[in-house]
Amino acid sequence: MKNNLLDCKSLSKNDVEKIINQASIYKKAYSKGILTPEFKGETSFNLFFEPSTRTRSSFETAAKRLGIMPINIYGNFSSIKKGETINDTILNLSKMHPALFVIRHNASGICQQLSNITDIPIVNAGDGTHAHPSQALLDLFTIMEKKGTVKGQNISIIGDISSSRVARSDSELLVKMGCNVTFYAPATMLPVSHSQNITVAKNMLEAINNKDVIILLRIQLERESGNKFSSLKEYSKYFGLHKDMVKDKTLILHPGPFNRGVEISSNLLKQKNVVIFDQVENGVYVRMAIFKWLLKELC
């Protein structure tokens, strides 16, 4: 049966371990200059209907390092602007026999819908507020690389959780892998419901004290996050992370793009325990591993 990467819920622990192990193999091979273009001759279609810097270029880099030729299609410059439906776009592109589709779209659930009409594997590169599984996998890889383990890690996710596909995918994956996950956000940014394995902190001190990892989220002004708090200054004061608030051993992650001076201060960004740029680097290896997992069974 065709494999897709649509969300973290449908990944087994075994799948996750295989992808993380393979990403580690690719990272070592790349650093030694012994990476082989094992999928030479294949093509992938990157369909992006929402802005992206990291995810699109990371999937493109991952494809090229494996010998896959990526073809980028931007929503605003595609025939969708002439009235073609996204289903018809996928049906047409499937006939060019790509190895896979990588899709970002603002409609939650669109990748699941499209996976039902094509035999080509689909990677969800972020759909609305639903899921961003490759981001969650690269976050997990970075935590494991820096901490040496994931089970039992105390992890806080702070910010606009209700609007965040990253928060949803991260929390699903991290709980699955045995972490203790805490949410902290203004009441207006907490999800209506969440897994019973997740704790909600009452204040910032509770959210950051004794945590191994803190994942900060972006204030999503394009998704009306701005209506959920009184001012950016006030958000930064009560929910932002600043220098000297956490110990050096606490890893600080952010999926990017970050709002400098809002959810994270400039001086904190310079600290060694802030691993945001390591996340970006690791994202390429994790996405290469995702391609391998989709195109060949990983052992």
Interacting residues with ligand CP (CB under 6 A): 52-55, 126, 135, 255-257
Let me know: does 101 contact 89? Beta carbons within 8 Å: no
**DSSP-derived 3-state class of residue 184:** strand
User: In the block, which residue shows the tokens 């410059």?
Assistant: 77
Nearer to ligand CP, 135 or 236 (CB): 135
Nearer to ligand CP, 22 or 55 (CB): 55
Question: CB 149 → ligand CP: shortest distance, Å?
Answer: 24
Say whether the peptide bond before residue 255 is cis (omega within 30 degrees of 0).
Answer: no
- Other C-beta atoms closer than 10 Å to the C-beta of 170 total 29
**DSSP-derived 3-state class of residue 126:** strand
Question: CB 59 → ligand CP: shortest distance, Å?
Answer: 9
CA distances from 55 to 29, 99, 121, 270, 276 (A): 22, 18, 18, 23, 14
Nearer to ligand CP, 118 or 129 (CB): 129
Nearer to ligand CP, 121 or 255 (CB): 255
**Alpha helices in the chain, H assignment, sequence order:** 13-32, 54-65, 86-94, 110-115, 133-147, 165-176, 204-208, 232-239, 266-269, 276-295
Dmax over Cα atoms in the chain, in whole Å?
55
Nearer to ligand CP, 35 or 217 (CB): 217
CA distances from 160 to 179, 198, 219, 226, 245 (A): 20, 16, 6, 10, 20
Nearer to ligand CP, 70 or 126 (CB): 126
- Whole-angstrom Cα distance, residue 210 to residue 75? 44
Question: CB 296 → ligand CP: shortest distance, Å?
Answer: 26
Nearer to ligand CP, 60 or 118 (CB): 60
Comparing every residue's Cβ against ligand CP, the nearest one is: 55
Question: CB 234 → ligand CP: shortest distance, Å?
Answer: 25
Question: CB 254 → ligand CP: shortest distance, Å?
Answer: 9
- Hey, what amino acid is at 225? S
Question: CB 53 → ligand CP: shortest distance, Å?
Answer: 4
Question: CB 36 → ligand CP: shortest distance, Å?
Answer: 27
